């Protein structure tokens, strides 16, 4: 694959992402990590390096989502910060990896209109004083990644799978300083053992998260991943977000609950089973809906059909 120079396609029918979600719900994409492993990525390998080493394989995955009906594609940069890449000996390639990811995601739309969301995932540790990583190092790592994603032409930055508000704020600040026009904050929640509620690994509940995201000025608040965060739990999270503020909401629930088979984690919820609860998620107020762990292009195709039947705003 030869990456072509980035050409801005920042609009759907003349609208940017924030304007578009006011008119109708948009469809996101599905899981990336599991698709990379199905394409041959070894366990523990650096999937982000494939943006420069195996771009055709990344493009094939993301084009399958675009063909299934995704309006938004998230770049293959979940572990694309310098801290994460350093663990694979790829720190010096951070800018190249992230810019290539934006170009691949744009190419996946094959000329059709759509939004590319530049992905910033967790840095993979705990900051001082509870951990060993200095805050300044984390911020510097996010600065490099955010700058590359914005320079590459991402339409928005999504800071996802966050569990600590302090880390989320560092990434939001980095995205804003890099010039991101639209910033999405997404947290990962775990259902408690007794099933009564859910919160992040660091103890943050949806109400507190929503208030914090409104305070620091994210444009879209979101949720993705987490233990037990299926479609019904995601709907509850959207309702709890909405009880606090009226920011637009994005939701990417898992394809059901994982099971262990032959030493592999499998998500067995079918597209039909998952999409059955999608109307409730939309009615709760989600304006961008996609999938996280275990979701596939087939799940997204089912989402597309359901969203197209949902009445516009």
Domain ranges of the chain: 17-309
The reported pTM is: 0.94
Least confident of 111-115, 121-125, 150-154, 265-269: 265-269
Give the CA distances from residue 312 to residues 25, 225, 239, in Å, rounded to whole numbers and listed in that order: 7, 27, 19
State in Å, rounded, how far the first CA of the chain is from the last one.
39
- Work out whether the CA dihedral 232, 236, 241, 246 comes out positive or negative: positive
Residue 45 has pLDDT above 60, yes or no: yes
Q: Is the pLDDT of residue 260 over 90?
A: no
Band (196; pLDDT cuts 50, 70, 90)? very high
Confidence of residue 3 (pLDDT cuts 50, 70, 90): very low
- pLDDT score recorded for residue 8: 46
Rounded to 5 degrees, what are φ and ψ at 138?
A: -65, -45
Q: How far is CA 120 from CA 14, 99, 240, in A?
A: 26, 13, 24
Let me know: does 290 contact 30? Beta carbons within 8 Å.
yes
Q: What is the pLDDT of residue 157?
A: 98
Q: Is the pLDDT of residue 1 over 60?
A: no
For residue 6, pLDDT over 50 is answered with: no
The CATH number that domain 17-309 falls under is 3.20.20.330
* Mean pLDDT (the chain, rounded): 93
Instruction: Residue count of the chain, please give it.
Output: 313
Q: What six digits make up the tokens of 282?
A: 């939309």
Mean of the pLDDT values across residues 15-27? 95
For residue 258, what pLDDT band results from cuts at 50, 70 and 90? confident
Average pLDDT over residues 197-208: 97
Q: How confident is the model at residue 121 (pLDDT cuts 50, 70, 90)?
A: very high
Q: Which helix (H) or strand (E) holds 162?
A: strand 156-162
Can you tell me the distance from the alpha carbon of 199 to that of 208, in angstroms, rounded to the nearest whole number? 10
What band does 268 get if pLDDT is binned at 50, 70 and 90? confident
């Amino acid at each position: 694959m030869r990456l072509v120079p980035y050409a801005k396609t920042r609009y759907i029918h003349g609208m940017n992402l924030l304007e578009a979600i006011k008119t109708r719900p948009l469809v996101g994409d599905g899981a990336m990590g599991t698709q990379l492993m199905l394409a041959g990525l070894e366990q523990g390998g650096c999937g982000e390096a494939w943006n420069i080493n195996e771009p055709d394989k990344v493009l094939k995955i993301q084009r399958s989502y675009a063909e299934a009906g995704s309006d938004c594609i998230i770049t293959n940069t979940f572990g694309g910060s310098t801290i994460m890449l350093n663990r694979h000996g790829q720190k010096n390639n951070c800018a190249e990896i992230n810019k290539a990811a934006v170009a691949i995601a744009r190419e996946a739309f094959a000329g059709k209109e759509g939004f590319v969301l530049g992905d910033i995932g967790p840095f993979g540790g705990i900051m001082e004083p509870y951990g060993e990583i200095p805050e300044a190092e984390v911020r510097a790592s996010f600065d490099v990644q955010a700058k590359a994603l914005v320079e590459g032409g991402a339409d928005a930055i999504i800071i996802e799978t966050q569990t600590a508000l302090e880390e989320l704020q560092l990434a939001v600040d980095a995205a804003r300083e890099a010039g991101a026009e639209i910033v999405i904050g997404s947290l990962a929640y775990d259902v408690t053992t007794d099933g009564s509620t859910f919160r992040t690994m660091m103890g943050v509940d949806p109400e507190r998260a929503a208030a914090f995201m409104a305070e620091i000025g994210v444009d879209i608040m979101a949720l993705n991943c987490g233990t037990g965060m299926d479609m019904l739990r995601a709907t509850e999270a959207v309702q709890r977000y909405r009880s606090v503020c009226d920011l637009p909401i994005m939701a990417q629930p898992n394809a059901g609950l994982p099971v262990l088979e032959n030493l592999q984690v499998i998500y067995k919820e079918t597209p039909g089973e998952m999409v059955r609860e999608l109307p409730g998620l939309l009615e709760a107020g989600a304006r961008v809906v996609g999938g996280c762990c275990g979701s596939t292009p087939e799940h997204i195709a089912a989402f597309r059909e359901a969203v197209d039947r949902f009445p516009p705003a």
